[in-house]
Structure 1
Amino acid sequence: MRLEAGLHQRQEMRLRLAPQVIQSIELLQLPLLALEETIKQELVDNPTLELKEEREDPEDRAEADRKEAEVEAADRLEALRALEDQWQEGAPRRAAGGDEDRKQEFLQNIASRGRTLADHLVAQLRLLELPPRTARIAEHIVFSLDASGYLPMSVEEIAASLPDLFADRLPDESVREVEAVLRLVQSLDPAGVAARDTRECLLLQLRPTDPDYAMKRRLVESHLDDILENRLPRIARKLDLPLETVQDLVASLQTLNPKPGASFLGAEAPLVTPDVIVREIDGEYEVILEEGSLPPLMINPHYLDLLQRGALTGAEKEFVQRKVEAARRLITAIEQRRLTLTRIAREIVRAQRAFLDHGIVELKPMKMQQIAETLRVHVSTVSRAIADKYIQTPRGIFPFKFFFSGGADTDDGGAEAKVNVMDRIRELVDGEDKRNPLSDIDLVRLVRERYGLDLARRTVTKYRKALKIPSSRRRKQY
């Protein structure tokens, strides 16, 4: 086969999105805070784009500056007088009028960083006054722990990650030294920290002074899987113990914490800023787009005037025209985002009016395709518009996707939302006989008989797992 380079001409058609469409799509899926950052960056990058409130009468600006300077001078004079009074009286005193030091007040109102597991453990190591070598290995172990307090590394890996400490040691000596330091860390509070698996974590929390220590240790070492699967009769047969004794021992083991590090500095709740606010006014619901933090934009008329008068050179004209066009595209895209989001929010409010009136029990199943067909837009437009956005209603703040969920058909031809179906399943499980718990097949039958919902067994299983409800075998009480 012969290879050669050459020029060939062909004709084809391609569908390509215009820059305006691409920018509209990108801005549509941005939540409010991200849109604010985008606008701020555009104001920095594009000199032809500016805020509307920035343009004001020069005389008004001069008058405002003069008044601001007078207020600032008066504040400084008052502060100097207060400082003079403090020196004369020989004792500190707050500023006149009872005003506190603003900087000090600001620092006091800043939320302090929470105490982490590593902070807690290192503070204990400091009290032990360990030799520098031991302290370094111990701190290396501490900072290698995961969020649950487990050590995801082997002692060999820890020794290998400290080559300057173990360069002159044999591998066996290094492992023994790390093992000794690891046992030291495992003796710290909270109990069970620095374990390498769940079994070791539970064993570290057992107290040798407990009268049942030997039996509990045997249960954890040899029968942990049976405990997790609630196979208590099997354990009783293997250990030749009464079932009641096994139940008491297992109940005691259940008080142990399999994740000792989870109580330190949990994940912070994300900051939620609603993009849309729904308010009830005279029995009707009004949709308001939350744009108080979005600055109104405009194109600087000075650059438009330069273009009209032809006062720019070729390169300057090309640059200004490109920036003006970019500013227009941005302003248009923001307006399109506002219109699309408002229309979608109004349609959601119309479709979920019963939910707003009566609460979660009246939430209806709804699909994005329904909104798209009503508004005559593509379903991908709806999906982008509601992505990572929240809506504030009289019933609380919800993500937009909360209103788009599946459901189940009822015998009377209606439909019930997924969250309500899950509540039905939870109610049935809560009211079951724990000595004879309901299987998934039983739940399918009872949901159909009591609530008229036709569900498949796999659907019930999926909802039960989403509710973190164990299987019937694991829920059984002996």
Structure 2
Amino acid sequence: MSLAPRLDLRQTQSLVMTPQLQQAIRLLALSNLEVEGFIAEEIEKNPLLDSGGSDDGPPEEPAASPTEASGPASADELIVNGGGDGEALDVDFASESFIHDGPTDAIGGLDGGLSLSGGASGGGISEDGLDFDSFAGPETSLGDHLLHQAGEVLDGPDLFVAAHLIDQIDECGYLGASLLDVANRLGVPLAQVERVLGTIQTFDPTGVGARNLAECLAIQAREADRYDPCMARLIDNLDLVARGALPQLKRLCRVDDEDLADMIRELRNYDPKPGCRYGGESAQAVVPDLFVARRGQGWAVEINAATLPRVLINRSYYVELATGNRDKASKAWLSDCLASANWLVKALDQRQRTIIKVASEIVKQQEAFFLHGVAHLKPLTLARVADAIEMHESTVSRVTSNKYLSCARGLFELKYFFTSAIQSSDGGDAVSAQAVKSAIKALIGAEDPKKILSDDTLVDLLNARGFDIARRTVAKYREALGIGSSVQRRRQKALEGVG
């Protein structure tokens, strides 16, 4: 066998993901709000792309690409073929079906939605309304609030120490640094640091600057003039309060049942996290990507067009650039921009079609849920939906990621409708895990405080309702719902009865 170097020709097959293919896959997994940010980036990079919300001139029509589209391709076909040469979309952007931003805009018809019995899919955008959140002033952070108070009562070295301590206070209002470490770091006496911390602990909100929960509650008790020896012992034994050890607490605090109940009631009125009143991030409402509404005997499924910006290709600008004297490099760049713009418009349109198709099948499979509630939620898998709409399971998985559906029963993530199956004890149809969780929550919510239901008892009650479920599964579902064990609930009920 010769070991000399040589050249060979070999033919192999490999899957190459073009940039256009990666873009199509990425768009499927993004929510509507994330798509809005993605489009804004693409508009900055591609001069041929334009937002449809501008009133600076007449609206431009989507530009035709060098190749003519033979018809709408499915999402799987786009991914498999990976056609990045750019195809024209036969989309009427002036149609009314592109200006609805909610189910109420389609009252009297199905123009803005897709009916399971055969309707039109909606997509597009209307003019954005007022953003009332923009009128709100910036919130004062906890650190700024404390520094402002420190500047009014302290000066010189004490103010310097206070600024350093305030910087070490977390968002809940607790001081996490050691006072000795602070004193060594700043080169000041420990007594001075303790004195400054005592001043900070008098600031608003009451309880800020505490080093632990007991100190935080003690500060608030002093402020309320309730910090007597009995309350001090109660605060020093918070572990017994958490365990509901009422007889031990009565002996330690030397009080009767009435006084202990009054002390516990007072303790509940205190704030264990005083710093959270300031500087917390404003809660962001979840914006639905889809609307589902009842329409006669069927359902209307509609894209939330209010969160999808309108994207157009600036045809006049393209013609102006194309007709000028340009070198080969400029013409090649312009062709690339046109192909990229056409592909983006097509990918966005196909994304909406795919989302509508998947959501419509989910509504069809879970119609009993939309009619009667969570107890009628059926077991459903991604593969079942993929087979029904003739798409790949990975496509359905991407479509249902980070997307929310709004209906008459509330706001739900699309993943919520995919649950595992629990076999029926009477041989009937299997039920979903969400239905079992709902039943567990209802049973525990209605339990007698004097007769707390154990997991074994819950298993018997669920079996009587037709759910064939094991004790460990009940415990897992109970913990997933954030519900404590029977022992924890019994202690909680005892404290509630005392308070």
- TM-score normalized with structure 1 length: 0.74
Q: Does 1:219 align with 2:243?
A: no
SS at match of 2:419: coil
Conserved? CA contact 2:234–2:253, under 8 Å: no
Partner of 1:68: none
Provide Cα deviations, 1:217-273, integer angstroms capped at 9, x if missing partner.
Answer: 22332x322322223345557778767765654454333322222334544221433
SS at match of 1:207: helix
Change (3 A) 1:20 1:439: same
Q: Does 1:28 align with 2:53?
A: no
Q: Does 1:142 align with 2:156?
A: no
Which sections of structure 1, spanning at least 5 residues, go unmatched? 1-5, 59-104
Partner of 2:452: 437
Change (3 A) 1:296 1:452: same
Change (3 A) 1:247 1:273: closer
**Which amino acid counterpart does residue 466 of structure 1 have in structure 2?**
A
Which sections of structure 2, spanning at least 5 residues, go unmatched? 61-129, 495-499
**Which amino acid counterpart does residue 48 of structure 2 have in structure 1?**
T
Structure with the higher helix share, 1 or 2: 1
Q: State how far apart, in whole Å, the 1-side matches of 2:231 and 2:8 are.
A: 81
Conserved? CA contact 1:365–1:417, under 8 Å: yes
Partner of 1:388: 402
Match of 2:157 among 130, 133, 145: 133
Moved more, 438-447 or 10-19: 10-19
Q: State how far apart, in whole Å, the 1-side matches of 2:59 and 2:291 are.
A: 35
Within a 5 Å distance, the mapping from 1:302-321 to structure 2 comes to 303=318, 312-321=326-335
Within a 5 Å distance, the mapping from 1:19-418 to structure 2 comes to 19-50=19-50, 56=58, 110-128=135-153, 130-159=154-183, 163=186, 166=187, 169=188, 173=189, 175-207=190-222, 213-221=228-236, 223-235=237-249, 249-264=263-278, 266-291=280-305, 293-298=308-313, 300=315, 303=318, 312-406=326-420, 408-412=422-426, 413-418=428-433
Conserved? CA contact 2:291–2:406, under 8 Å: yes
Conserved? CA contact 1:232–1:247, under 8 Å: no
Provide Cα deviations, 1:173-231, integer angstroms capped at 9, x if missing partner.
Answer: 1x32212111111122333221112222223233399687223322332x322322223
Q: State how far apart, in whole Å, the 2-side matches of 1:365 and 1:260 are.
A: 44
User: Considering only CA atoms, is the larger Rg found in Structure 1 or Structure 2?
Assistant: 1
Conserved? CA contact 1:49–1:300, under 8 Å: no
Provide Cα deviations, 1:444-475, integer angstroms capped at 9, x if missing partner.
Answer: 222222x2222332332233333333322232
- The Cα shift of 1:338 comes to 1.6
Conserved? CA contact 1:367–1:404, under 8 Å: yes
- The Cα shift of 1:417 comes to 4.0
- The Cα shift of 1:118 comes to 3.5
Change (3 A) 1:212 1:333: closer
Change (3 A) 1:361 1:278: same
Q: State how far apart, in whole Å, the 2-side matches of 1:36 and 1:27 are.
A: 11
Coordinate RMSD, CA, aligned? 3.7
Q: State how far apart, in whole Å, the 2-side matches of 1:57 and 1:371 are.
A: 39
Q: State how far apart, in whole Å, the 1-side matches of 2:457 and 2:155 are.
A: 63
**Which amino acid counterpart does residue 410 of structure 2 have in structure 1?**
G
Q: Percent identity?
A: 33
Q: State how far apart, in whole Å, the 2-side matches of 1:16 and 1:334 are.
A: 22
**Which amino acid counterpart does residue 160 of structure 2 have in structure 1?**
R
Q: Does 1:424 align with 2:439?
A: yes
Partner of 2:125: none
Q: State how far apart, in whole Å, the 2-side matches of 1:373 and 1:209 are.
A: 65
Partner of 2:69: none
SS at match of 1:374: helix
Provide Cα deviations, 1:66-101, integer angstroms capped at 9, x if missing partner.
Answer: xxxxxxxxxxxxxxxxxxxxxxxxxxxxxxxxxxxx
Q: Name the count of aligned residue pairs.
A: 414
Q: State how far apart, in whole Å, the 1-side matches of 2:59 and 2:260 are.
A: 85
Conserved? CA contact 1:233–1:243, under 8 Å: no
Q: State how far apart, in whole Å, the 1-side matches of 2:385 and 2:289 are.
A: 18
- The Cα shift of 1:121 comes to 3.3
Conserved? CA contact 2:405–2:413, under 8 Å: yes
Partner of 1:64: none
